[in-house]
Amino acid sequence: MSRPDGTRLAYRYLRGEGPTLLFLPGYMSDMQGGKAQALALWADRNNRAMLRLDYSGCGESGGSFDQGSLDLWRDDVLTVIAEIDCAPLIIIGSSMGGWLMLLVAKALGDCVKALVGIAAAPDFTDWDFDAEDRSILQAEGRIERQSDYGYEPMVVTRRFWQSGQDNLQLTGEIAIECPVRLIHGQQDPDVPWDISLKLAAHLRSADVQTILIKDGDHRLSRDQDIALLIDVVAKL
C-alpha cells in the first residue's frame, strides 16, 4: 500500500480468526525474520489472523532508512492497520519492536487485547548511549556500530535518536491496561534483561508476567525459544 506521501509499505496479511497477531520487528530487521515466520506458520495452521510489515526504509518497503524515526514507523504501523481494518490486535514486538508496540498500543487503546515483548528495548536511545555517543550524533548526524546480526554497520541517525528521546517510556506510568507478557534472555548482550523488569514495573496493567530464559540470548530464535513464544501467544 502507499502512504499519503507515496512511499510504498510492504506487508503480509493472513486472514483468520481474531484477534489479529501483529508482529513488529526490531531495529534494522524486517518481517522475514525467523520469529515472524514461525508465528505466521503457526497462525496459518491454526486459522489465526496475522499481520507482518516492514517499516519504511526497511525490508521490502520503500523510503530511506536514514529518514526513519519512532514516530514515523509508529505511523507506518497505524496506517497499515487502518488500511486493512484488522483490529482487534495482539501485538508482538521484538527488541525495538517492543518499544514501538507500546506507542502503537497507546494510540489504539482498547483495540489492543494483549502485548508480547521479546527482549523489548524501550528507551534504548537513553540507556545505550553515553556522552561520547551523543557528542558524535550531534556533530556528525549519525553513529555507526559494529553489528553481530548480519548487517554492517548498525547505523543510528540523529533523527532517530531524537525521536527516541521524545518517546521515552520508562520515566513514569505507562497507561496500558491489557495483559502483557515479557520474554527476555538473561544472556542478552544487547538489551539488559532488567529492562523488562523495569518495563513491567512501569506498566499500569496488573496482568503482567516477565519470563526470563537463563541461557537465552538477544534473538531468542532457537527452537525452544520459538516454542515458548508460540505457547505464550496461543494462551493469550
Catalytic one of 188, 190, 196, 225: 188
Composition of the chain by helix, strand, coil, percent to 5: 40, 25, 40
Is 194 a residue of the active site?
no
Phi then psi for residue 174, to 5 deg, are -100, 115
Is 218 a residue of the active site?
yes
Q: What whole-number distance in Å separates Cα of residue 60 and Cα of residue 109?
A: 29
Return the bridge partners of 151, or none.
Answer: none
Catalytic one of 29, 61, 94, 95: 95
CA R_g for the chain: 17
Q: What whole-number distance in Å separates Cα of residue 91 and Cα of residue 160?
A: 22
Is 188 a residue of the active site?
yes
Annotated active-site positions, please?
95, 188, 218
